[in-house]
Amino acid sequence: MKATVRAHPNIALVKYWGKRDEALILPHQSSLSLTLAPIHVTTTVEFGAPSDTVELHGHAAKGSERDRVLRLLDAVRVQAGRDLGPAKVVSRGDFPMAAGLASSAAGFAALAVAGRAAAGLPEDTRASSILARRGSGSACRSVQGGFCEWQRGERADGEDSYALQRFDAGHWADLRMVVAIVDRGEKEVKSRDGMKSTVETSPYYPAWVKDAEAEVPRARELIAKKDLEALGELCERNAWRMHSTSLAADPPLCYLSSATLGLIQHLREQRKKGVPVWFTLDAGPNPVLLTDAAHEVAAEALARACGAVDVVRCVPGGDATLLTEHLF
């Protein structure tokens, strides 16, 4: 009745931005990401506890944060088809939570896989991905390692909306993602609220959906060929387009800070000098730099020269895995 899982966060190369169903977390478009190691979240779930308790990163979770965790475990109970009793959850991450790296993605992926295992359900990446998606959309892409594609699906019940691994972590082992933390502050508008407002008010939103959907197979081809330059260009283009559709929302949503723009400018200059480095940007000010193993030190130096207060160097990560050692 107890299981522990370690899962890695992921960074979207083609972003997910906007839901067609908010309750089930179904996206308007497909997306594609890379799972990132060594950073990870570890989560232990136990059913049959005296009462429901949720501890996240050393604090008792409250309000909507706690509800999201318990709702996911309710879905596990439905899958198990029996009364599993109250649950105890303890989760810990080893990376800066405000890094804009969607720690929720690793957290909900670990919770989904651990929840199913603690309930005695068999390992099933599709079922875990669907479950993780119901906690946080991007989490469905952290159940497996390497390059994962979240297919938007067509069904109203969401059973065809889950992530598939296209290439494992070993496919492109010398690809590097360098997270440049230029701002540690909590973002003003969370992804969930930002994407909702963009869907509802941005006149550019339909164009975003069409474009992002078309970029996914292109990104897949470039990853197959390990074409860093073309993939870097695609990533930047997709990040700019996600941010453009948000800037066009009412009120406008701007996640970029002056430090973000300074770093992007510097990165372009470095590229002209022959350093193969590109960026992507989630719903926050901290760029994630795409490069190869031979240039990760240069990418870190570039980030620090532009005022990054912290830098996290990442490599392609593996699947969410069951551990034998528990957190309690």
Q: Output the CA torsion sign for 115, 118, 120, 123.
A: positive
Q: Output the CA torsion sign for 266, 101, 20, 235.
A: positive
Report the residue from 5, 8, 16, 91 that binds ligand DP6 according to the rule CB under 6 A: 16
Q: Which residues contact 234 (CB under 8 A, 6 or more apart)?
A: 13, 14, 215, 218, 219, 222
Please identify, using beta-carbon distances, which residue of 119 and 283 lies nearer to ligand DP6: 283
How far apart are alpha carbons 147 and 9 in whole angstroms? 12
Q: Which residues contact 27 (CB under 8 A, 6 or more apart)?
A: 16, 18, 19, 20, 137, 150, 152, 161
How far apart are alpha carbons 225 and 318 in whole angstroms? 20
Least distance to ligand DP6 from the beta carbon of 51, Å? 26
- Residue with nearest beta carbon to ligand DP6: 137
Least distance to ligand DP6 from the beta carbon of 242, Å? 7
What 215-218 contacts at long range (C-beta under 8 Å, 24+ apart), as own/partner pairs, is: 215/14, 216/14, 216/29, 216/30, 216/31, 216/32, 216/149
Please identify, using beta-carbon distances, which residue of 84 and 140 lies nearer to ligand DP6: 140
136 contributes a contact to ligand DP6 by CB under 6 A? yes
Report the residue from 6, 15, 40, 313 that binds ligand DP6 according to the rule CB under 6 A: 15
The single residue listed with the structure tokens 């009120």 is 251
Contact flags string 24-53 toward ligand DP6, x per CB under 6 A = -x-----x----------------------
Stretch touching ligand DP6 by CB under 6 A, among 135-143, 163-171, 180-188, 264-272: 135-143
Q: Write down how long the chain is.
A: 328
What residues between 223 and 242 interact with ligand DP6 by CB under 6 A? none
Q: Which of left, alpha, beta for 59 (phi over 0: left; psi -120 to 50: alpha)?
A: beta
Report the residue from 102, 209, 235, 303 that binds ligand DP6 according to the rule CB under 6 A: 102
What residues between 281 and 300 interact with ligand DP6 by CB under 6 A? 282-283
104 contributes a contact to ligand DP6 by CB under 6 A? yes
138 contributes a contact to ligand DP6 by CB under 6 A? yes
How far apart are alpha carbons 99 and 181 in whole angstroms? 6
Residue count, binding to ligand DP6 (CB under 6 A): 15
Contact flags string 182-201 toward ligand DP6, x per CB under 6 A = ---------xx---------
Please identify, using beta-carbon distances, which residue of 101 and 178 lies nearer to ligand DP6: 101
Contact flags string 62-101 toward ligand DP6, x per CB under 6 A = ----------------------------------------
What angle in degrees, to the nearest 10, is found between the helix axes of 258-272 and 296-305? Answer: 140
Footprint on this chain of ligand DP6 (rule: CB under 6 A): 12, 15-17, 25, 31, 102, 104, 136-138, 191-192, 282-283
